[in-house]
Chain A
Amino acid sequence: MEIYLDNCATTQPREEVVEAMIYALREEYGNPSSLHRLGLKAEKALEKAREVIANFLKVNKDEIFFTSGGTESNNIAIQSIISKYNRLGKHIITTSIEHSSVYNVYKFYEELGFEVTYLEVDERGIISLEELEKAIREDTILISIMQVNNEIGSIQPTWKVKELIKKKNSKALLHVDGVQAFGKIKLNIKDWGIDTFSMSGHKIYGPKGIGILYIDKNLKINPIMYGGNQERGLRSGTENVPGIVGLGKAVEILEKNFEMEQEKVKEIKSYFIKRLKEEIDHIHINSPSEENFSPYILNVSFDYVRGEVLLHYLENKGIYVSTASACSSKGVKGNRVLKAMGLNERQIEGAIRFCFSYKNKKEDIDYTIEVLKESIKEIRQITMR
């Protein structure tokens, strides 16, 4: 029995994706920049994928740039915007619960002398728009907010941000880290006035090593890496054709299945929460079944349980999950995001993240609940004596 509930870390590529990639490796191996017909064949495959993705996101084809993944997309967006607009101001805003590929870039600019506002979140893990409005100034050049938090799945109201920027008469641009949102919740990047938006292939049953950066066509930014000017100069380097083809295939299927899969996962999550609440005590649901949370992520704190120990108990029974913290001789290394949400140490220590996919069934949850009950009982016998 293998029940994979770590789909925020990465997903298993769909069979169709694997096949499309094998075909690309075998037949579409030309360099898209080559003048001959093999080059053209590869270029066509690449542009087809770009079109599929643009349609899915309801944006223009030339607003889609391929990168190596979410981390690179975030880096290009933030670094390019700051290097281009820093003469307009040295104030940048983000949240205290960003992924490291945003958070650490901000830390870097903070060291360089930029003034950074880190927005706090409430106990649900959601920023306050009032706080944001207060923070925006005339010299704010960039606001970076993640769409869906990767630890607890809280959804940030990025669609309200552009309004606030206008209201405060600021020139700030809006970057959104959409890695856990892409293909998982309904997006309207254009209408929401987002300037740049990051996405990754391997979180949506596509391959690793491929990502997307959406850049609004009115925004002109410079690359952070120079070379052969692929991707209209923004991202030089021979294109990862098999990766792009695989990602295109993953999005093509998603386009058809998106709503059906999302409904299915929603049900799984509600069912899981219901059974947890009924059958295991001393727990906290950190990501409830509400509109403000991704249906794909369920974070639960089990009191008097070390997350890592529970993880190994579950893996022993073929269930794969993640924890927020690791057990080490130096004590539990606190998790920045859960701390920012105001969880206490015991809740952070016992936090487990279950991330669903279209593949999960109700029976998987039944089995998981049984294993959880047994394991937690055993662990608590030791920790609660």
Chain B
Amino acid sequence: MDRVISLSVGEIALKGKNRSFFENKLISHVKRVLQGLSIGKVYKEQGKIYVEVGEDSINEVINRVKKIFGIYYISPCIRVSKNIGDIKAAVLKIAENIKYKDEVKTFKVKTNRSDKKFPIKSPEFSREMGAVILKNIEGLSVDVNNPDVYVYIDIKQNVYVYTDKIKAYGGLPVGTNGKGLLLLSGGIDSPVAGFLMAKRGVEISAIHFHSYPFTSERAEEKVKNLAKILSSYTGKIRMYSVNIIDIQKEINTKCPEDEMTILSRRFMMRIAERVARENDIDVLITGESLGQVASQTVESISVTNASVNMPILRPLVGMDKVHIIDIAKDIDTYETSILPYDDCCTLFLPKHPVTRPKLKYIERSEENLDVEGLIEKALETMEIYDVE
């Protein structure tokens, strides 16, 4: 009787011929997050991934694998061979556990026989095992329509017995869907955007813009901490940190005050695109949500887009702030995001930014600036480091 944790892969199961690519990626993530724990083998068996664990490390393993994208459900199981006596013992052990849960009064056994060589058919075997529980465990009764708990028996090469299906994030394993460069600020939105795209399999790098000495080193530290939290889902994140104070100063002296924000954003996009291309990254990711602030109107977004050729993914574009905050709280970035250090000094924020910029006016303003030169100069300030 061995302890294993099973991981249901959900969407990956639909991947047809690419399936093993996805599964192998997932297994490498499982091995990565479990580093330092004493675990046994990690293996695939008919659609699920199994991790051999010791009794003591079950909870820790579950907590860690929960954060891996591509996993839908996690079940702590007992693994036995196809010997009827062993299976009975496993079923009884599992039933013992549920007996102590107050809310559980009824159960139903559900057998899934993918090994058709096993002599007893699923419905019959379920009935047999149900009877074993009824006979040996007091206080439990069968309810086939609406049981408090299911006792699952998966008959494969091995037999797996379990009750819990712990929900994980789902999605696809990070690294199965290209690379994205996240524009990470210290706010609530951008870490959530990074999380959501990583959940669709995108490998995340992040770029951060600051205006030191007009902003504090604590703002930079805060962004690092956000990246660190994010990396617990995505794995190692490469961070690019760029000082854009000289660009902001130039805009401030040479362009209309109300265009500060939109012009800065166009610079950020251009710099991000440049960094992405040089590092084989395919898309940019931002935390923009339509209508949230002046720079996030349809007009602003289209003017921002016009500054680059690379696609910009905006997973939050149609989400309400409350929803974004809920996700931020769930993934643990919220408390860090609301710390009061600004990454982009309010000194430059116009009192009334343009909300409906026209590309031709914005481009005319940019004619006053040495765009190329400023980008080059900003890139010289770039610092690169890895966060995990």
Residues of A within 8 A of B (CB): 306, 308-309, 312-313, 315-316, 326-329, 331, 381-383, 385
Q: A312-B216, A316-B212 are in contact. List 15 more A-B contacts (CB 8 A).
A: A306-B345, A309-B213, A309-B347, A312-B212, A312-B214, A312-B217, A315-B213, A326-B340, A327-B345, A327-B346, A329-B346, A381-B253, A382-B249, A382-B252, A383-B347
- Taking A312-B212, A312-B215, A316-B213 as contacts, is the C-beta distance between A327 and B347 under 8 angstroms? yes
Q: Which 5 A-B pairs have the closest CB atoms?
A: A312-B213, A313-B213, A309-B214, A328-B340, A316-B213
Interface residues on B, range: 10 to 19
Decide if A329 touches B347 in the complex (CB within 8 Å): no
Residues from chain A with a CB closer than 8 A to the CB of B217 are: 312
> A313–B249 Cα gap in the complex (Å)?
15
**Which chain B positions have C-beta within 8 A of A381?**
249, 253
A-B contact pairs, 28 of them (CB 8 A): A306-B345, A306-B347, A308-B216, A309-B213, A309-B214, A309-B347, A312-B212, A312-B213, A312-B214, A312-B215, A315-B213, A316-B212, A316-B213, A326-B340, A327-B345, A328-B340, A328-B342, A329-B342, A329-B346, A329-B349, A331-B346, A381-B249, A382-B253, A382-B347, A382-B348, A383-B347, A385-B252, A385-B253
- Chain B hits for A313, CB < 8 A: 213
Give min CB distance, B296 to chain A, whole Å: 15
Contacts of B253 in A (CB 8 A): 381-382, 385
Query: Which residues of A sit under 8 angstroms from B215, Cβ to Cβ?
Result: 312
CA distance A312 to B342 in the complex (A): 13
- Docked complex Cα distance between A121 and B386 (Å): 52
Q: B342–A327 contact, CB under 8 A?
A: yes
Tell me the interface secondary structure of chain B in the complex: loop
In the complex, which residues of chain B have a beta carbon less than 8 angstroms from the beta carbon of A329?
342, 346, 349
Q: Which of B195-239 contact A (CB under 8 A)?
A: 212-217
CB pair B340–A309 under 8 Å, yes or no, is: no
Q: Give Cα A200 to B314, complex, Å.
A: 53
Q: Which residues of A contact B349 (CB under 8 A)?
A: 329
| Chain A residue at minimal CB-CB distance from B212 | A312
Residues of chain B within 8 A (CB-CB) of A382 are: 249, 252-253, 347-348
CB distance from A262 to the nearest CB of B (A): 33
Q: Which residue of B lies closest to A331 (CB)?
A: B346
CB distance from A324 to the nearest CB of B (A): 15
Closest to A308 in B: B216
- 0/1 per residue, B334-361, Cβ < 8 Å to A? 0000001010011111000000000000
CB neighbours of B214 from chain A (8 A): 309, 312
B219 CB to closest chain A CB, in angstroms?
10
From B213, B215, B249, B349, name the one whose CB has the most chain A CB atoms within 10 angstroms: B213
Q: Using Cβ atoms and an 8 Å threshold, which residues of chain A touch B340?
A: 326, 328
Name A317's closest neighbour in chain B (CB-CB): B213
- Min CB–CB distance B321 → chain A (angstroms): 15
Residues of A within 8 A of B216 (CB): 308, 312
Chain B positions within 8 Å of A312 at CB level: 212-217
The interface residues of chain A lying within 8 Å CB-to-CB of B213 are 309, 312-313, 315-316
User: Chain A contacts of B252 at CB under 8 A?
Assistant: 382, 385
- Complexed CA–CA distance, A382 and B214 (Å): 11
User: Complex formed: what's the CA distance from A382 to B346 in Å?
Assistant: 13
